[in-house]
Amino acid sequence: MDGAPPPTSPTGLSAYVAVSQLLGLTLLATTGAWLGRYRGGVAWHSPLQFNAHPLCMVLGMVFLQGDALLVYRVFRHEAKRSTKTLHALLHGLALVVALVGIIAVFESHRAKGIPDMYSLHSWCGMATFVLYLLQWLLGCGFFLFPGASFSLRGWYKPQHIFFGITLFILSITSCLLGITEMLLFKISDSYSHFVPEGILANTLGVLLVAFGLVVGYVLTREEWKRPPLAEELALSMDFKTLTEGESPGGGSQ
């Protein structure tokens, strides 16, 4: 209706989203500072190629994935189709960035004669990436592209939400394992003496956990979930009628 006040976000939501973005940008800056100050920076076809791996994984599998999860909380009053598309695009971008990081570590290992996929970090990280790719493909198939029935979407939606949060947790866990592994390989002799590099890397780990906690808190607050718009409820009923053969009143056609 003309003259109606614009819809507002629930109390506290904007503040928590802002904190999450501040933490996310800080952890990216901290990752860059660690690699630049103590690991020589990042370059592709050089001995520094490996450093693209931690940078890409933090950017893709943590920051971009976290922002993709927050889309439905931030864009509460936008068209559902637009929100879905942005959600899928951010996850897709996260996958591309993470793939670059994976390629970097494999090429770096091959150039240096280092074996692949032997550590707990590599097992957890690769499993997380493969499951994340599968989650993205299934999400696009069920929700973004036409074809899945209303009942099938309804059945899969809780699984999609659960595995989305689970994969976000696994991504942060894999990053923490990777930070620890890198520190033990690079500064194992001095790590226990609270050297600056160790303190900075530990700080990065704390920021990863803090980012995950804030994003998780926003996602699990029931009153902060995106409310369905009136037109979405009508479209949902129409979609159910077409795919399930039911009338809006619930009877069979």
Cα distance between residue 55 and residue 204, in whole Å: 12
Cα distance between residue 212 and residue 165, in whole Å: 10
Coil, helix or strand at residue 177: helix
pLDDT at 48: 96
Cα distance between residue 107 and residue 109, in whole Å: 5
Query: What domains appear along the chain, each with residue ranges and CATH number?
Result: 13-229 (1.20.120.1770)
> Alpha helices, DSSP H only, in the chain?
13-38, 52-57, 65-74, 80-112, 120-139, 150-187, 196-220, 230-244
pLDDT at 10: 85
pLDDT at 2: 52
Cα distance between residue 65 and residue 33, in whole Å: 22
Tens digits of pLDDT across the chain (253 residues): 455 555 677 889 999 999 999 999 999 999 999 999 999 999 998 999 999 999 999 999 999 999 999 999 999 888 888 999 999 999 999 999 999 999 999 999 999 999 999 999 999 999 999 999 999 999 999 988 876 777 888 899 999 999 999 999 999 999 999 999 999 999 999 999 999 999 999 999 999 999 999 999 999 999 999 887 655 554 455 445 545 554 444 433 3
Q: What is the pTM of this model?
A: 0.88
pLDDT at 153: 86
Residue in the structure block whose two tokens are 């923490």: 176
